[in-house]
Structure 1
Amino acid sequence: MNPFFGSVFWLAVTLGVLVTFHEFGHYWVARRCGVKVLRFSIGFGNAIWKHIGRDGTEYQIAAIPLGGYVKMLDAREGEVDLALRDQEFTTQPIWKRIAIVAAGPGFNIIFTVVAFWLMFVLGRADYAPVVTAAPQSMAAEAGIQPGDRLLTVGGEPVTSWSGSIDAIANALLSRTPLAITVSDRNGAQRSLVLPLNRLPAGEDIGHYMGKLGLQLAPPPAIVDSVSPSDPASLAGLRAGDKILSVDGIAVKDSSDLGKQIGIAAAKSPQLTLEVERHGKPMPFSMTARMESPDGGAPRWVIGVTQVAPEAATQHYGPLKALIESFNLTWQRTTDTFSMVGKMLTGQASTKNMIGVIGIAQAANMSAQAGLDRFLEFLGLVSLSLAIINLLPIPILDGGHLLYYLIELIKGSPVSERTMIAGQYVGIALLFTLMGLAFYNDIHRIILPS
């Protein structure tokens, strides 16, 4: 699918699922608390589909798919029939109003736990933290060698590439030196320090990652399988053979093999590969041929697939997956609050905020990466929606909860004048944040890191 249309499609899926779940939380708890729901809307603006349910609730899908709402019977919005007075929102005990408002973010958190649980049950594909460093990068200067395995980051053990990156990302935001422990290909351990304090202030996490230059190391050029009747098979190559050189030019790793074949075959399709088999070097001659794999650009091939990077798939039974899901939800929650705190104190740049364009791009990339990654993405966005909605900003759920807290303390509701003023402040804050996030998205497109 085209990246643009893919991003639009998966953004619609993401918002459709998460907004529906969020609003269903408000709806379900309101109904359980005896409050009449007049409308359940996914999206804003004019309805493109609507249905009146047996309960009298109007269910609709609106034209602007950037949110949704549940409209309840509310005396502040018009006269209420005396027969329905007990179903009106503002006359409910304060604990019911708090429960109804908190239910939206609460259901988003439940969704996050379920999404992470399903991801772990299906298997979360990942790689072992075997790394290399880009030339002249901060990681290279710190002493990272090709094939090093990360053992600890900031004193905490790591067992996967994504887990390592998560730990490093938190340190990048603070730009503080980060202690790591690695082991080389022979198992010898070393303690290193990534001097993150040398990073320039005011940049986003993507820019910092580029400066750090820590990368997943490609595996050695070891043959995983050979295609029958292809040049490598006819020449006698077998699974397990390690390709050392092409026409006398050393092959550094699996990512380098295709490059060296292309360079050599452009001069002459007749190739000589030196291969290590059972510890002994052996020469093999073959004739490369030009192909267009998967409909892509034509290139020189010899008909081998190579060993993939070392896997570190997290695949658990239902109970263990639930425990890991709660752990990951808690970790992501603390990470999010940590990032918000660092942005408020100026430790981290507001350039790390992303808007609807960034979310759309991330939705498309995660969907292309597989169901496990898309479930993780949905869980993360759902958790972010919960946290954002709980911020004490008027017009958000957190703002309403703040009003109810004040009501509990002072013994009477916040005045209508105060609530109206708060709405204006909330709208201004919300549009400021949305504008900043949108600006960041455009800046990343025009000036990528």
Structure 2
Amino acid sequence: MQTFFGSVWWLIVSLGLLVTFHEFGHFWVARRCGVRVLRFSVGFGRPLWKRVGRDGVEYVVAALPLGGYVRMLDEREGEVAPEERDFAFNRKPVWKRIAIVAAGPGANLVLCVALLWAMFAVGKPDYLPLVGRAEGIAAEAGFEPGDRILRIGQTPVPTWTDAGLALVTAAMDRRDVAVEVRAAAGGTAIRDLELSRIPEGVEERRLLSEIGLVRQQLLLPATPRAIRADSPAARAGIEAGDRLLRIGDRDVRSWDEIGAAVQAQAADGQALEVEVERGGERRRLWLTPEWYEDDAGGARWILGLDPPQGEAAYDTTLEHGVVDALPAAVAETWRLTRETFGMLARMVDGRASLKNISGPISIAQYANSSAQLGLAWFLNFLALLSLSLAVMNLLPIPVLDGGHLLYYLIELIKGSPLSERAVMAGQYVGLALLAGLMGLAFYNDILRLVVS
């Protein structure tokens, strides 16, 4: 219940901030272009709070915090007194209308830069891009435990988050990449990852597993926190705090290797030799795994070991000085913008799944989890969301800012505005497309909840 209310709260905070900046962009430029603003609303639906300012604008906070709008004087929406027609939006030159419409996404881009500047200035904790284990394609490329990834293609990767995103992006394109590493044995080396070998149809969340790289900090020690009563491990004499070194004929170096070793070697009624370290001494024990079927229909061999608690602490911080943080934020915004448009292109041509489209449920969950990770991670989340809002609004879909910009571009080319009939037809098409996108986003959200 606490997670639910936390998610709702951080969703309201996030969208409230981003929508306010977006609408303020429209508002500010409209006023400077001589357009009379009638209402500035954050949210849709029934007003929860409103007042009329000294400037004559009605300021509103409405009940549904999933958007907002700026209502301007416009002859297409009602009768305008003759003495006020010069202040109507529709009477302004096309370049002013373009500036007013583009100002919303522009404000979100500026906000993205500001948030990333704050993130870099505060310092975002993360994990070093250290390889803990290499399997499959990565092992064949020569990766070894302890390798530190320096560069993927031409992109420097100071953290594991950067490395993971770069690898998954290349894997979606099935594009081979050269990875520069500082080898565990010393010196630098180039490892060529043949990502074109990844089979088609692999889900994106499994691409990193298909590559075969596991970060070092994920490798918890093979030391159980507790032993379940009347379990195979308890009957064999394994104790909490013992470090497992070997199961059957497989060496065990980390907790996640225990399950794989057991599933690969266990058989009904067959005992496995287990080597453990206890108090600095090595001991050999024998245990017989049990077959277990859970309520969800899954089945596996178990030993009765509880995993060690916690997760490895962050071991690096992505941080710049207050001055240096600004160019870093601009560069990061440019990089994220390229990647966002690249992801849209991949979804259009089928290289990326439409499951990547998220709705308010997923946004609320991401907002809550990033807020729990600390200020820098929350600033990073807000920056990504602000950029996404800017890009989404620039899509050439009628009813969105990008659709209006498309109308004005056509007007510039043909020398006159589109007919009211054409505009209305476009609005209906835009509403249908927007409803479809929202439906897909909600479907993906619900599917994630069911699967998880």
Does the alignment reach a TM-score above 0.5? yes
Report how far residue 221 of structure 1 moved.
9.0
Aligned partner letter, 2:451: L
Distance 1:386 1:145 in 2: 41
Going from structure 1 to structure 2, the CA distance change for 1:100 and 1:378 (only over 3 Å counts) comes to same
Going from structure 1 to structure 2, the CA distance change for 1:248 and 1:182 (only over 3 Å counts) comes to same
Does the Cα contact within 8 Å between 1:130 and 1:148 map onto a contact in 2? yes
Does the Cα contact within 8 Å between 2:42 and 2:67 map onto a contact in 1? yes
Going from structure 1 to structure 2, the CA distance change for 1:98 and 1:249 (only over 3 Å counts) comes to closer
Report how far residue 253 of structure 1 moved.
7.3
Deviations 1:263-294 (A, max 9, x none): xxxxxxxx95339xxxxxxxxxxxxxxxxxxx
Does the Cα contact within 8 Å between 2:176 and 2:194 map onto a contact in 1? yes
Correspondence 1:428 to 2:432: yes
Correspondence 1:107 to 2:107: yes
Q: What is residue 174 of structure 1 aligned with on the other side?
A: 173
Q: 2:280 aligns with which of 235, 259, 274?
A: 274
Deviations 1:181-214 (A, max 9, x none): 3344322555434343344445553232344453
In the TM superposition, 1:373-412 aligns within 5 A as 373-412=377-416
Aligned partner letter, 2:39: R
Q: What is residue 278 of structure 1 aligned with on the other side?
A: none
Q: 2:334 aligns with which of 330, 333, 336?
A: 330
Distance 2:338 2:311 in 1: 39
Distance 2:116 2:396 in 1: 27
Distance 2:109 2:324 in 1: 19
Does the Cα contact within 8 Å between 2:117 and 2:329 map onto a contact in 1? yes
Does the Cα contact within 8 Å between 2:164 and 2:208 map onto a contact in 1? no
Distance 1:163 1:18 in 2: 25
Deviations 1:124-178 (A, max 9, x none): 22221112247x6654565543322112212433222122122112112212333
Distance 2:241 2:218 in 1: 17
Does the Cα contact within 8 Å between 1:169 and 1:205 map onto a contact in 2? yes
Q: Percent identity?
A: 53
Distance 1:105 1:67 in 2: 13
Does the Cα contact within 8 Å between 1:394 and 1:425 map onto a contact in 2? yes
Correspondence 1:349 to 2:348: no
Does the Cα contact within 8 Å between 1:132 and 1:144 map onto a contact in 2? no
Going from structure 1 to structure 2, the CA distance change for 1:102 and 1:149 (only over 3 Å counts) comes to same
Q: What is residue 287 of structure 2 aligned with on the other side?
A: none
Q: What is residue 10 of structure 1 aligned with on the other side?
A: 10
Deviations 1:306-354 (A, max 9, x none): 984532x122222210010000000000001111111112222212222
Report how far residue 386 of structure 1 moved.
0.6
Going from structure 1 to structure 2, the CA distance change for 1:204 and 1:424 (only over 3 Å counts) comes to farther
Q: 2:420 aligns with which of 411, 416, 420?
A: 416
Does the Cα contact within 8 Å between 2:74 and 2:88 map onto a contact in 1? yes
Aligned partner letter, 1:89: F
Correspondence 1:209 to 2:223: no
Does the Cα contact within 8 Å between 2:125 and 2:314 map onto a contact in 1? no
Deviations 1:202-250 (A, max 9, x none): 555323234445332139999xxxxxxxxxxxxxxxxxxxxxx965755
Distance 1:202 1:45 in 2: 42
Distance 2:207 2:428 in 1: 37
Deviates more, 1:186-195 or 1:439-448: 186-195
Q: What is residue 261 of structure 1 aligned with on the other side?
A: none
Deviates more, 1:120-129 or 1:388-397: 120-129
Deviates more, 1:209-218 or 1:18-27: 209-218
- Report the TM-score when normalising by structure 2: 0.78
Distance 1:114 1:420 in 2: 37
Does the Cα contact within 8 Å between 1:339 and 1:348 map onto a contact in 2? yes
SS at match of 1:318: coil
Deviates more, 1:103-112 or 1:124-133: 124-133
Going from structure 1 to structure 2, the CA distance change for 1:175 and 1:221 (only over 3 Å counts) comes to closer
Does the Cα contact within 8 Å between 1:101 and 1:401 map onto a contact in 2? yes
Deviates more, 1:155-164 or 1:88-97: 155-164
Distance 1:22 1:97 in 2: 16
SS at match of 1:342: helix
Distance 1:365 1:307 in 2: 17
Q: Structure 2 regions of 5+ residues with no counterpart? A: 222-239, 247-251, 257-276, 282-305
Q: Structure 1 regions of 5+ residues with no counterpart? A: 223-244, 257-270, 276-298
In the TM superposition, 1:237-256 aligns within 5 A as 249-250=244-245
Report how far residue 365 of structure 1 moved.
1.2
Does the Cα contact within 8 Å between 1:16 and 1:65 map onto a contact in 2? yes
Q: 2:369 aligns with which of 359, 365, 370?
A: 365
Going from structure 1 to structure 2, the CA distance change for 1:207 and 1:434 (only over 3 Å counts) comes to farther
Distance 1:7 1:137 in 2: 38
Distance 1:310 1:324 in 2: 21
Distance 1:26 1:424 in 2: 23
Report how far residue 419 of structure 1 moved.
0.5
Q: What is residue 149 of structure 1 aligned with on the other side?
A: 148
SS at match of 2:8: helix
Going from structure 1 to structure 2, the CA distance change for 1:219 and 1:59 (only over 3 Å counts) comes to closer
Report how far residue 374 of structure 1 moved.
0.6
Distance 2:307 2:346 in 1: 50
Distance 2:17 2:328 in 1: 23
Q: What is residue 127 of structure 1 aligned with on the other side?
A: 127
Does the Cα contact within 8 Å between 1:219 and 1:309 map onto a contact in 2? no
Aligned partner letter, 2:162: G
Q: What is residue 228 of structure 2 aligned with on the other side?
A: none
Aligned partner letter, 2:325: A
Deviates more, 1:113-122 or 1:176-185: 176-185
Q: What is residue 310 of structure 1 aligned with on the other side?
A: 315
SS at match of 1:55: coil
Going from structure 1 to structure 2, the CA distance change for 1:129 and 1:376 (only over 3 Å counts) comes to same
In the TM superposition, 1:249-264 aligns within 5 A as 249-250=244-245
- Report the TM-score when normalising by structure 1: 0.78
Aligned partner letter, 1:433: L
In the TM superposition, 1:157-236 aligns within 5 A as 157-187=156-186, 189-202=188-201, 204-218=203-217
